[in-house]
Structure 1
């Protein structure tokens, strides 16, 4: 029997009292909210929004952590005919000034009619709202107090979601996702993964990010299976707790970026896994950033003795402008690596590229040259996506997107190649440097540094032309012995005669997006503007 299409709010009519969402306590317990309970909360939130004058197509901003209130505000906005827009809470940023600058840009772009937030974010959001001439934020509990639920949802808005790009290449852009595109993306993911109500899932991903929101929460709720939800800091404190839950609840599906797998490898010892089983896990989706094949191998070496099948590791590729999912490896197939044709192999800097699967139904992926010509298998060019789930456009003038362009088809600004229909993603076109006529990508060089012991999120490689000179820069956060030497070995090998520099910042000092990716363009601009003059120095063979 095939997996059918489902409307975004169909679950309200079929809300189960037995299935629902489990939320982790800060201790070891879990709170359960059935879908029937959540339905009543959603319809109450919709009524409260209408009482406050929220009309069809108005934007409702959510600055909330994962929790029943987030689910109620998101689906309540849709049930009221309004458009939800998720914005990262302050916890996603280490520096208050960075957060306020980021949030002010987002609020000024989308200009919500109402902002619903958590208590711990209220003062910060109140300050940002005042600076952008917007109404004060409202706490969720205050919003819904005394509200009588609607009898049923109103007509969906044309734009069912405004989601912001990560901003790794500049300011985040607000992407308008139609109800049809969101529905098509969720349906495509369900059919790719074989999702069904009897298949429980777990996530620690932030719900303001497309992978945690569209890829997990919306998929779980609209399909109607049990979802187990941790906060990102729950996972950081104890990845062992996350793994125990997978074993205890016979979890079938989860997802995370490469960073999450690397973190498990650093924090979890084989002894921590005694008595645990992972044979129920058939879909561990890996995406959102360049995937290191050594990390996949090491995760399987750690969890495989406890039942994890290698075929459960599912590399995938997606984009905010494509709603989310574009390609994904089929469950059970087993991931592979490849190199492009010999003429483009230098772009990998000696690293291997993990295949991210084939296009989901209704989508087509091609590789295009700078002139827009379609390239054959094995040749590196720009990844271009067409078909269902492409966004309607951007909200306002939201700043640079490093070549990403929406039209009849999505020019992603990402570099990659195809082989036998499978997509292999290399990195951002704007994050490369041409060496001897071939592009070398920052992500490839960072992968080599990680393999030499420099942890993820502790180094960012910048490539560009500075004062007319091709330049490679290694930015270290909390520099440790041996890192500069490793950087010189890697950069000097692959960047030829380029000028090599290092910059040292405090731990946590690398500017990142709300999903943790380095904001290379922002850091590069600051470097060229003199912001790092006190710490920039040549990178030489004698370092360390």
Structure 2
């Protein structure tokens, strides 16, 4: 621990409270141990319709199911083969994932290839990793020829294993099989986690067996052992927070995980909170947008039927956590027993397997600080005053156990004093080995050293900006996203929050702010999505543009060069719901962003209807 006046050479944490199992070389070893020690305990509970169609899988069932599939995979795969996993979320997905681990192959989770954008991403990932096999839903069999055409255009076509419900039913009917020899190499590449692409093309992060164990361990420590947990997730298992922060963690820690699909959550967010109530869930995960969605769609009458008093840990990550969102959620669901002490704002990256930092005290409300906006723009941390614009930043807690975090000047590579904004560097057992097929980028990102001490490292350069205060991390933005205007650093998430709050017609999580260059000058562009239900005419849309420009000018002293109003689903998002600002900027520069269309006034509509009855020239 360092004082506010000293140089922050390192921030680290250690503990001896977590049980260490020498046999847990990889996640398969963990599952085997669970299947032996507690064979009949429920490992996974899947809500097939998001509500009352429930199916359970015990540790023994999961272990044997995965072993049968692994036996089949070993017969058709070369050692160390990469297997693309594109099954829909559910128990079959979990089975296939552990089967890949057991078969001595490398799992490559990916979004199912449905839709033009998803097929393109799927083909890119498949080609980059050189997949030998794709495990897919049986429903994709009809699309095999089309998907193979997309794959052959980029590289080699892999084999397919179409594993629908009938496939797994047949698997369950097979006799038990002898387990193969367990993996003895902690450095074996267990998983390739392709980044969501918020700042560029997806890159395959090489995660070893030891990385997965390390991340599970630090999360297990952070959760505490005071009580037996019950988890709940609707996050996609091909995203790092859903996979490492829920699915693998639950097996490592030995608690039941209740699961439903992302689609069932988005269709009706109430299902998530009803699940928390019904199964007395103690731990769950949810990005910022999910909390907003619950507040916006769940009625007061529906809140009356909830009991959220059992929820002790609500991990909030995957995108910037906003104080306004936490306040709205707590106010809405406080009457149902929800406590703000449950919030666990956290920070992580796929390159660090997942978890880097998070709230340490499970019984405390997350810390937040109110900063002077102008000082923050200059990279200086100063308390807010009553007569100047302020920015609220929520603490992302303390660094993961047995890991080290530093705030570093990204240009000089010198450590920064506490209370000064710099790049977040991180080192420890959870840091991945690098990016697949990208040695130069891997050296730059994963093997950084301090200028004054080349022996101190290697560190992971996160590309994120933040500062330390009283031993806790506060995130301010990404280096590539920062907008430099008249010598000031403007953080896009702050601008987006102001725009979001200025008019009710703007969709939650539907704003992107970025800079474009015109005539050698940087200009601020704000893209905002308009709700379908808003039904605005041309004059209304102009009023929204004016409201956005006025709010940003007042709060940041900068007038947007362009305010672009767009229909819903225009702004590119990652799989976790983060705004892809660089992709949005590229689309804007290419003139490819759709414009929100005004709804005609009643008089104009009547005139338009009449005109269609007239003869046309």
Q: TM-score, normalised by structure 2?
A: 0.80
- Note closer, same or farther for the CA distance 1:90–1:279 as it changes in structure 2 (3 Å cut): same
> By how many angstroms is 1:193 displaced?
0.7
Output one character per residue of 1:350-386: Cα deviation in whole Å (capped at 9) or x when no partner: 4311111100101122111131111112211111111
| Mapped contact 1:181–1:391 kept (Cα < 8 A) | yes
| Mapped contact 2:525–2:562 kept (Cα < 8 A) | yes
Tell me how far apart the structure 1 counterparts of residues 475 and 518 of structure 2 sit (CA, whole Å). 27
Output one character per residue of 1:164-209: Cα deviation in whole Å (capped at 9) or x when no partner: 1110111011000111111011000001112589311101111010
- In structure 2, the partner of 1:4 is 19
Task: State the superposition RMSD in angstroms.
Answer: 2.7
| Mapped contact 2:292–2:325 kept (Cα < 8 A) | yes
SS in 1 for 2:65: helix
SS in 1 for 2:271: helix
* Gapped regions of structure 2 (runs ≥ 5): 1-15, 380-388, 449-457, 597-617
> By how many angstroms is 1:433 displaced?
1.3
Trace 1:103-502 onto structure 2 (pairs within 5 A).
103-122=122-141, 123=143, 125-132=147-154, 133-141=156-164, 150-156=177-183, 158-194=188-224, 198-330=228-360, 331-339=362-370, 344-346=375-377, 350-369=390-409, 370-397=411-438, 405-407=446-448, 408-452=458-502, 453=504, 454-478=506-530, 481=541, 482-493=543-554, 500-502=561-563
- In structure 2, the partner of 1:512 is 573
Tell me how far apart the structure 2 counterparts of residues 399 and 223 of structure 1 sit (CA, whole Å). 37
| Mapped contact 1:363–1:386 kept (Cα < 8 A) | yes
- Note closer, same or farther for the CA distance 1:228–1:523 as it changes in structure 2 (3 Å cut): same
- Note closer, same or farther for the CA distance 1:85–1:347 as it changes in structure 2 (3 Å cut): farther
Tell me how far apart the structure 2 counterparts of residues 399 and 325 of structure 1 sit (CA, whole Å). 25
SS in 2 for 1:288: coil
SS in 1 for 2:513: strand
| Mapped contact 2:323–2:394 kept (Cα < 8 A) | yes
Tell me how far apart the structure 2 counterparts of residues 296 and 161 of structure 1 sit (CA, whole Å). 33
1:20 aligned to 10, 25, 43, which one?
43
Tell me how far apart the structure 1 counterparts of residues 560 and 300 of structure 2 sit (CA, whole Å). 43
Output one character per residue of 1:445-489: Cα deviation in whole Å (capped at 9) or x when no partner: 112222334333422112243441111112233475443223212
Q: Which moved further from structure 2: 344-353 or 381-390?
A: 344-353
- Note closer, same or farther for the CA distance 1:422–1:40 as it changes in structure 2 (3 Å cut): same
- Note closer, same or farther for the CA distance 1:459–1:73 as it changes in structure 2 (3 Å cut): same
Output one character per residue of 1:307-351: Cα deviation in whole Å (capped at 9) or x when no partner: 222211110000000000000102112112124677642379743
| Mapped contact 1:287–1:316 kept (Cα < 8 A) | yes
- Note closer, same or farther for the CA distance 1:284–1:171 as it changes in structure 2 (3 Å cut): same
- Note closer, same or farther for the CA distance 1:350–1:111 as it changes in structure 2 (3 Å cut): farther
- Note closer, same or farther for the CA distance 1:260–1:436 as it changes in structure 2 (3 Å cut): same
- Note closer, same or farther for the CA distance 1:473–1:343 as it changes in structure 2 (3 Å cut): closer
| Mapped contact 1:449–1:487 kept (Cα < 8 A) | yes
> By how many angstroms is 1:153 displaced?
4.2
Tell me how far apart the structure 2 counterparts of residues 223 and 87 of structure 1 sit (CA, whole Å). 25
The structure with the largest alpha-carbon Rg is: 2
Output one character per residue of 1:87-131: Cα deviation in whole Å (capped at 9) or x when no partner: 01246xxxx222222222211211111110113445264443343
Tell me how far apart the structure 1 counterparts of residues 103 and 238 of structure 2 sit (CA, whole Å). 20
| Mapped contact 2:64–2:176 kept (Cα < 8 A) | yes
1:39 aligned to 50, 59, 63, which one?
63
Output one character per residue of 1:6-45: Cα deviation in whole Å (capped at 9) or x when no partner: 5212222332213221111225321112221111111011
2:584 aligned to 523, 530, 539, which one?
523
| Mapped contact 1:464–1:472 kept (Cα < 8 A) | yes
Tell me how far apart the structure 2 counterparts of residues 523 and 398 of structure 1 sit (CA, whole Å). 28
- Note closer, same or farther for the CA distance 1:404–1:471 as it changes in structure 2 (3 Å cut): farther
SS in 2 for 1:215: helix
Tell me how far apart the structure 2 counterparts of residues 304 and 177 of structure 1 sit (CA, whole Å). 39
Tell me how far apart the structure 2 counterparts of residues 379 and 366 of structure 1 sit (CA, whole Å). 11
| Mapped contact 2:108–2:193 kept (Cα < 8 A) | yes
Q: Which moved further from structure 2: 259-268 or 350-359?
A: 350-359
- Note closer, same or farther for the CA distance 1:507–1:25 as it changes in structure 2 (3 Å cut): same
* Gapped regions of structure 1 (runs ≥ 5): 537-544
Residues 1:97 and 2:119 aligned together? no
Tell me how far apart the structure 1 counterparts of residues 564 and 524 of structure 2 sit (CA, whole Å). 11
| Mapped contact 2:289–2:577 kept (Cα < 8 A) | no
Tell me how far apart the structure 1 counterparts of residues 127 and 559 of structure 2 sit (CA, whole Å). 40
SS in 2 for 1:411: strand
1:59 aligned to 71, 82, 88, which one?
82
- Note closer, same or farther for the CA distance 1:426–1:487 as it changes in structure 2 (3 Å cut): same
| Mapped contact 1:59–1:85 kept (Cα < 8 A) | yes
SS in 1 for 2:507: coil
- Note closer, same or farther for the CA distance 1:419–1:125 as it changes in structure 2 (3 Å cut): farther
- Note closer, same or farther for the CA distance 1:159–1:497 as it changes in structure 2 (3 Å cut): same
| Mapped contact 1:491–1:500 kept (Cα < 8 A) | no
Tell me how far apart the structure 1 counterparts of residues 131 and 140 of structure 2 sit (CA, whole Å). 17
